[in-house]
Every structure is written in C-alpha cells, then in structure tokens.
C-alpha cells in the first residue's frame, strides 16, 4: 500500500509539531522590572550615622567633660557631657545590661530584614536605626564602668526635655520613618499592602 502523504492546504489547521513558536522580543525581556537590593544604601547610612555619633562623642568628652555647659540657644539648648546608664533620653537607669541586649537584638533583626530589602526609604530608615544602635552599643561595651554596663555619652541638653546624643537622634528619626512607611503600606521588600476595605453595607 502506498504511503499516505498528508499535505496541508492554506487555511487548514496545523498540528502541534508543525506550529512555529512566536519569537520573544529582546525588548519584552529587558522591559521587565528588576528589583535591586538596597543593602548597600543601608550600610552607607548606618556607617555615616555611626561615625558621626562616635566622632561627636570623642570630641565632647575631650573638650567638654568636667567643664561648664556651652550655650547653643540660650538656656534652651546647651552642650554638656552626661554619662547615661539607661536607655535613650536617660530612661531606665538601673537596666543597663537589659538595654545592651535589646540593642544587640535590634541589630540582628535589622540584618535579617536586610536579606530581602529592596525599598530605598526602608533602607534609609533601617540604616539610621542600625547606625544609632551600634553607636550606643559601642558605649555599652567599651566605656566605664565595664563591658555590657558602660555608660552612654549624652551631651545635647534641651531644657525641660532630656539630654541625648546623635545616636539617639538617628534612632528616633529612623523609628519615625518606619512608622510612616508602615502607615503608607510600604514593605521592606518593595511591595505594598493595603488594609481591607469595609463592605459598603456596614
């Protein structure tokens, strides 16, 4: 029996084997959004915050400790060195070791978040928190009266408020930015979330 030949005519459907794949344009591939990790930004912000805090503490201890306060804005803002055994703004004087462990835990948490960090604003916020935490942790570890019990150097005194340092300021600014980003629905990985909307009948 003669071999049967199948000849496709114009307009006739092709089999799956005969189908020609549609070529993918290079523009379609290149147009896909590529997320960039922001760990580098986090580290730069953290290092800057840490170095500024450390430099300011070394300077005021060398120049101002044991001397009369320097007026910056009259009696409202002055510079005077105070050794703080507690947390930011002088709170919790009897819990030095506890606050040391909390600062170390904050650093670990931030580093874990950094593995999926793709948001620039979050990188800035976490960098401020990380630099500030490292700044005060350095005092806890290396200043008197001893390791894990070292007193933090505070030197910015605001009348009727508190005495603090630049690490405290970085932590507060980073914390405020984290709260604002969370309210806006922004996540560290660059995604966004929204609160579920209530039904119209409710």
Q: Active-site residues: which are they?
A: 154, 168
Tokens representing 148 are 């894990």
Residue 139, burial from CB neighbour count under 10 angstroms (0-12, 13-18, 19+): buried
Q: Any idea what DSSP says for residue 89?
A: G
Which of 136-141's residues contact partners 24+ apart within 8 Å by CB, and which partners?
136/88, 136/103, 136/165, 136/167, 136/168, 136/171, 137/100, 137/103, 137/104, 137/107, 138/50, 138/54, 139/57, 140/96, 140/99, 140/100, 140/103, 141/100
């Amino acid at each position: 029996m003669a071999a049967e030949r199948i000849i496709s005519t114009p307009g006739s459907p092709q089999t799956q084997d005969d189908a020609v794949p549609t070529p993918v344009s290079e523009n379609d591939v290149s147009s896909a959004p590529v997320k960039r990790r922001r760990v580098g930004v986090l580290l730069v912000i953290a290092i800057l915050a840490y170095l500024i805090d450390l430099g300011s503490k070394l300077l005021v201890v060398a120049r101002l400790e044991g001397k009369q306060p320097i007026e910056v804005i009259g009696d409202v803002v002055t510079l005077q060195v105070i050794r703080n055994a507690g947390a930011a703004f002088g709170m919790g004087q009897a819990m030095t070791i506890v606050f040391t462990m909390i600062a170390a835990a904050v650093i670990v948490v931030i580093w874990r978040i950094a593995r999926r960090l793709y948001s620039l604003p979050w990188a800035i916020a976490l960098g401020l928190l990380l630099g500030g935490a490292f700044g005060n942790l350095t005092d806890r570890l290396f200043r008197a009266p001893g390791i894990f019990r070292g007193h933090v150097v505070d030197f910015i005194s605001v009348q009727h408020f508190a005495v603090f340092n630049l690490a405290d300021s970085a932590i507060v600014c980073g914390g405020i930015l984290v709260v604002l980003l969370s309210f806006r629905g922004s996540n560290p990985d660059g995604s966004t979330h929204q609160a579920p909307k209530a039904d119209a009948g409710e």
